[in-house]
A = this chain, B = another copy of it.
C-alpha cells in the first residue's frame, strides 16, 4: 500500500511516520509532504532517507492512504483532492469532523462508522481520550451530563509552542505562540474564543463527544486550560448517568475497555499523570469515585498522550482498521 503523510515534519506527522515503522504497517511506498521550506530535505524511514515533496507532488504520486497532519487550511484545500483521486484520507484537522458525511472515528468505539467513506476524521486530542473512557460507561448506564476541566499539554499546540515552553524554562522570554508565559503559569485559553465565551477547544469537546458517542443532545460543558507540561493531557471529568452504578462495576468495565488502563490505588498513590502517560498508546483513568452530592454521578481523572492516542496513534488505528476491513472483504 502506498501511504502518504501530509505535514510530515510536524509533531504529529513525525509521530505517524514513527508509528508506521513501530507498528509494522503494511506499506509498500511512503510519500512525505510538507510546506515549501522543507521540500528537498529528507527524513529517515526504517533507516533510509525519504525525501520531502510538495503536497501537489504527493497528490500526483497517487497514494492510496493519506494521513493529513498539517493543520486546517491544508486539509481544507487538499484533503478533498486526494479523496477525489481515489485515496482514503485520514484527517487530523478539525475541518471535516462535524460534517455529517464524514465519520469521526475512535476505532474502539465506532470503527464500523468508517464504512466506505473516502475521508475519515480523527477527533480532537482531548475528546479522543475522554470518549475512550466514557463509551463503555455510557453504554451501560446511559450518559446524561458531563462537566469537564482540562489540563492540556503544550505539545497539543505544536512544535513552536513546545519551543516556547523550553525557552521559558531556560529563562528566555515569553511570547511567539501563547500571548502570555506558560512556564510557571496556567492559561484558561486553548484555541480561539467564540461569541458564546467558550473556546474552540471547549466546543470541540461538546460537539465531537456528542458525535462519537452518538448522543446528539448530551449535556456537555467544558473549561479547557493549558498547563506547563510538555506531553500528556489530563482531564477532571464529572459524569452524570441515567442509571445507578457501583464503583466495582465501573472499575471492571473500564479495566475491560480496549485501550484503557485503570490506575487507581490511592493507598499506593497510584493515579494517572502526564509524566507516566507520555509515550504510551493507552489512555489512563483513575481517581474513580462517586460524586457524593448527586446520585448516579461519577468523578474520573483521565490522562493520555495527546500526540499518540490523541492524534497519531488513533490515526494509525483507523488505518489498521481500513486494512483489516479491506482484507476481510477481499478474503474468499
Contact = CB atoms under 8 A, between A and B. Distances in A.
Given A145-B294, A193-B266, A238-B147, A184 B275 contact: yes
A145 B293 contact: yes
A134 to B, nearest CB: 15
A219 B299 CA distance: 14
Interface stretch (A37-45, A78-86, A228-236): A228-236
A103 to B, nearest CB: 24
Contacts of A273: 180, 185-188
B228 A188 contact: no
A186 B180 CA distance: 20
Given A145-B294, A267-B193, A184 B230 contact: yes
A301 B272 CA distance: 24
Contacts of A291: 147, 221
A125 to B, nearest CB: 16
User: Considering residues A186, A189, A297, A301, which has the most beta carbons from chain B within 10 angstroms of its beta carbon?
Assistant: A186
Interface stretch (A13-21, A69-77, A282-290, A304-312): A282-290
Q: How many copies does the complex hold?
A: 2
A269 interface: yes
Interface string A168-209: 010000000001110011111100010011100000001000
22 contacts: A147-B291, A151-B225, A169-B169, A185-B274, A185-B275, A186-B274, A187-B273, A188-B234, A188-B272, A188-B273, A188-B286, A189-B271, A196-B289, A197-B266, A197-B289, A206-B293, A221-B238, A221-B292, A221-B299, A223-B236, A223-B238, A225-B236
Interface of A: 145-147, 149, 151, 169, 179-181, 184-189, 193, 196-198, 206, 218-221, 223, 225, 227-230, 234, 236, 238, 247, 266-267, 269, 271-275, 286-294, 297, 299, 301
